[in-house]
Amino acid sequence: MKHHHATLQRRAALLAVVVVLQAIAALFFVLDLFGDVIADGMGQHLAIEGAAVVALVVAVFGGALQIRALVLATRADEAAVAMARGAAAELVRLRFAQWKLTRAEADVALFALKGCDIAEIARLRGAAAGTVRAQLARVYAKAGVGSHAALLGSFLEDLIVAETPAPAGLE
Partner 1 sequence: MHDDDETMPPARRRWDPVVKLTHWAVVGAVLANALLTEEGSATHVWIGYALAAVLALRLLWGFVGPAEARFSAFLPNPARALAHVREIRAGGHTRHASHNPLGALMVYAIWSCLGVVIASGIAMAGLPGAVRAERHEPAVATAQVGGEREEEGEKDGRKDREGEEEGGLGEVHEAAVNLLYLLIVLHIAGVVFETRRSGRDVVLAMLPGRG
48 binds partner 1 (CB under 8 A): no
Say whether residue 17 binds partner 1 (CB under 8 A): yes
Least separation in angstroms between CB 159 and partner 1: 22
Q: Per rule CB under 8 A, is residue 31 in the interface with partner 1? A: yes
Measured distance CA(127)–CA(111) in Å, rounded: 13
| Minimum distance of partner 1 from residue 42's CB (angstroms) | 13
All residues at 6 or more sequence positions from 151 whose CB lies less than 8 Å from its CB, including other chains: 109, 112, 113, 139, 140, 143, 145
Furthest CA-CA distance within the chain: 89
User: With binding defined as CB under 8 A, does residue 56 bind partner 1?
Assistant: no
| R_g (Cα) of the chain, nearest Å | 28
Long-range contacts of 34-41 (CB under 8 A, 24+ apart): none
Q: Which is nearer to partner 1, 27 or 104 (CB)?
A: 27
CB under 8 A: which stretch of 67-75, 85-93, 100-108, 116-124 binds partner 1? 67-75
DSSP assignment letter at 42:
-
Interface contacts to partner 1, rule CB under 8 A: 9, 12-13, 15-17, 19-20, 23-28, 31-40, 60-61, 64-65, 67-68, 71-72, 74-75, 79
